[in-house]
Each structure stands twice: as C-alpha cells, then as structure tokens.
Amino acid sequence: MLDVKVECNQTASPKEIQDFVADIDTEVLVGFLAGRQHVPTLHKADTEKPNEKRRGKYVGIDGRDDPQNERAIETAELAKILTFGSANIPARPFIEEGLLSEKEELLKEAEKQTDNARKGQANWAKLGTKAVGAVQKFVRSDYYKTNIPNSSKTIEFKGSDTPLIDGGDLINSLEFVVEGRK
C-alpha cells in the first residue's frame, strides 16, 4: 500500500495540530470496487477461428486459458493478479507506480486541499481525480511495454503488445473513494 504524508509549512500548537488532524480525518483511496465483473475483450484468436469455442478469454491468468473454464472474474481480482503477478504473469504494480510517476503533482494537490480543509473548503475529489488520471496515464505509457513486455503467446492471443490494456475495461474501471470527513 502506498502511504503518502503531506507536510504543513505552518506552525501551530500541539492542541491545534490534534484538533486539525481530528477534523481532517480523510483518506483518498484509489483502486477497483469489488463486485464489478470484468468485461472480456474479443481477441484476435476469437475472430480468426469464430467457429471454435471461445478460447482463452483470460489467457495466462490462473488456468482461465482453459476453454472449459468460463468463470467470470471481478475487475478487482484481475487488478490484483496483474499487480502482484502469478505463475504465468509478471508483477506490474501499476497503481503504485502510476501514483509515484506523478508524486510531486499529487503532493502539491494534497497540500492545497489540506490548506483548504483549514478553511472548510477541501475538495478531496480533485485529488482523487488527479490520482486516477496519473495511474491511467502511466498504464497507457510505454513503460511496461519497454520494461516488462507481454509474452509472445499473449501478443499472439491479444493481437497487441501493450501490457495491461486489453480493450480498456480494466483501466477505465479505476476509481477513487473519499473516506472520512469530506
């Protein structure tokens, strides 16, 4: 879990700090909501052999490339597998790396909203939106294509060499939630 602390450049008494922290008690979480089913993508392999049963709709993911295994997968579960890897898939911690890629910009926004919170005007959704955008931008970059590319089997199956993007359902499902006092 990525945990970021924001510095405040103002002086205050310990009591004022305790009161402020109690009032602000807010977290902005970025990830995938459980319960949402991943929408499978029509692959190159599906269009080349349309009369065969749908083959390998989840190629390489824990036995789901077995044509008899048509079990649906939740978007959150798929993201977990892609983040931590499996026997067939290398780890690509895209949420953490995406947030770190825009760390300075996100910290500036967090500091701005922290200052706004003192005035009772925090807009934590703005921070959440920027965080989701940072991860989406990172996934759409060539970072994984260059550093942890898809296997030749996956490229052949998908018809694409872009890791983590297979129709866009996963990355477009990324959301943020503001917990605590808003």
Average pLDDT over residues 137-148: 96
78 falls within a domain: yes
146 falls within a domain: yes
8 falls within a domain: no
What pLDDT, on a 0 to 100 scale, did the predictor assign at position 48? 58
9 falls within a domain: no
Contact (CB, 8 A) for 165 and 144? no
Of the pLDDT bands very low, low, confident and very high (cuts 50, 70, 90), residue 64 is: very low
CA dist., res. 27 & res. 62, Å (int):
33
pLDDT at 20 over 80: no
Number of domains the chain contains:
1
- In the chain, the amino acid numbered 149 is P
5 falls within a domain: no
Q: Which backbone phi and psi does 13 adopt, to 5 degrees?
A: -75, 155
According to DSSP, residue 74 is labeled B
Per-residue pLDDT tens for 36-49?
A: 777 666 666 555 55
Percentage of the residues of the chain whose pLDDT score is greater than 90: 35
Domain that includes residue 42, residue range: 14-180
What pLDDT, on a 0 to 100 scale, did the predictor assign at position 148? 96
